[in-house]
Amino acid sequence: MQKQIFALCFVLFGAGGVLVAPASQAQETIAQVNPNSQQLSQLLRQARESVDRGDYPSALTLYQQALSLDSRNARIYSGIGYLQALQQNYPAAAGAYQQAVVLDPNNADFQYALAFSLANMGDNASAAQAYRRSAQLNPRNVNSYLGLGVVLMRQKDYNGATTAFQQVIALEPRNAKAYELTGSMLLQQNRTQEAIQNLEIASQLNPRDGSVLLNLGIAFLQENNPNGARVYFERAAQLDPRNPEVHFQIGRIFQNQNDFDRAAVSYQQALAINPKLVQAQAAIGEIRLQQRDYLRAVVAYREVISIAPEDAGAYYNLGLALKGRDRTDEAIEAFKKARELYEKQGQSDWMQKAEAMLKELGD
């Protein structure tokens, strides 16, 4: 059986992470633009009304019309970028903010918004450049340094990220997020004790932040202290009961203690919140294999494959479950797919194990 459970340690490293969204440039656009015609003024007023109603597509259409009247207005581009970012259309947002930056290169807010959009696209190098420019233009904006630190962490530039977070702490000594991110970064480097020290400071500064407690729980797991980890996970679950990662981590503890029923309940709670949390679905499949409940293992691993069709381990474990049900032909197909993916991914050891299973099944 291939283990598929892995720690969701760095919950701060998602596409958006802790990056703070740019302020409402749409409202600023309308408030500060100097329209040169009655028609332009009317378009911007209508756009503001659409924004207030939450009708972003109509607002975008109105801003595009406004651009035809005033194509050199950086704030109109920034308003478009803001609305695109609200709809998570980050490439379009980045394109609009790039136009704003070209027209007004010394505007720190535009640089920050551009960086935010690029970071959410995963273009970390370009985002770092824009965050640095934003910080140069407005050295007291802690969000620029936080964003810079996050994208540098993604690039494993830990020294640069540390410098960015230290700058935040120098500006705001009680900034809990800077300590939390530092702790998460140290966890990524397996510097667990230092991570715990920073995360405990973050927890003291912001005791109701569930993500800090989640990371403290993960740190205690790394220290082989499951009881201590469980205390933090349960506190995190109380503060943030809709966080699927918390329930997943609690399930891991129960599973490692061979309390499979309670582990399965925790994994199901995670999946009820996020049905596409592949780690939880794979963990349920692993439990069913350990219990020789092959039918439910088949169901679980087919669900994993529907979410992550390139997951070689899911195909391998599906093959084991099908083999346990004496569904030989289907098991062979699953092991063949696993072998193909293992080869593609350069996992020669597991490719050989898949081949061994195929030989055992007479293929």
> How does residue 51 score in pLDDT terms, banded at 50, 70 and 90?
confident
Q: Strand runs (DSSP E) across the chain, as ranges?
A: none
Rounded to whole angstroms, the Cα distance separating 275 from 268 reads 9
- Residue 19 pLDDT: 58
Which carries the bigger pLDDT value, residue 40 or residue 116?
116
pLDDT at 136 over 50: yes
Tell me what percent of the residues of the chain surpass a pLDDT of 90.
79
Q: What is the pLDDT of residues 189-205, one digit of tens each?
A: 999 999 999 999 999 99
Structure tokens at 142: 């802690």
Burial (0-12, 13-18, 19+ Cβ within 10 Å), 54: exposed
Q: What is the pLDDT of residues 286-340, one digit of tens each?
A: 999 999 999 999 999 999 999 999 999 999 999 999 999 999 999 999 999 999 9
Question: Domain spans of the chain?
Answer: 1-141, 300-363
Q: Establish whether domains 1-141 and 300-363 are of one fold.
A: yes
Rounded to whole angstroms, the Cα distance separating 203 from 139 reads 27
Structure tokens at 47: 């756009």
The mean per-residue pLDDT over the stretch 119-134 comes to: 96
User: Given this structure, which CATH class describes domain 300-363?
Assistant: mainly alpha
Orientation of helix 142-154 relative to helix 124-137, angle to 10°: 160
pLDDT at 6 over 80: no
- Residue 23 pLDDT: 59
The CATH homologous superfamily to which domain 1-141 belongs is Tetratricopeptide repeat domain (1.25.40.10)
Q: What is the mean pLDDT of the chain?
A: 90
Q: What is the pLDDT of residues 218-271, one digit of tens each?
A: 999 999 999 999 999 999 999 999 999 999 999 999 999 999 999 999 999 999
> How does residue 29 score in pLDDT terms, banded at 50, 70 and 90?
very low
> How does residue 28 score in pLDDT terms, banded at 50, 70 and 90?
very low
Rounded to whole angstroms, the Cα distance separating 357 from 336 reads 9
Closest CA to 185 of 155, 223, 217: 155
Which amino acid is present at 180? Answer: E
Q: What is the pLDDT of residues 32-46, one digit of tens each?
A: 444 457 888 888 889
- Residue 20 pLDDT: 64
- Residue 52 pLDDT: 87
Structure tokens at 200: 């405990």
For the chain, what is the radius of gyration of the CA atoms? Answer: 25
pTM > 0.85: yes or no? no
Measured from the Cβ of residue 307, the count of other Cβ atoms closer than 10 Å reads 14
CA distances from 16 to 12, 118, 302 (A): 8, 10, 29
Task: Report yes or no: 273 and 244 within 8 Å, Cβ to Cβ.
Answer: yes
Tell me what percent of the residues of the chain surpass a pLDDT of 70.
90
Task: Report yes or no: 310 and 341 within 8 Å, Cβ to Cβ.
Answer: yes
- Residue 94 pLDDT: 96
- Residue 184 pLDDT: 94
Rounded to whole angstroms, the Cα distance separating 282 from 305 reads 9
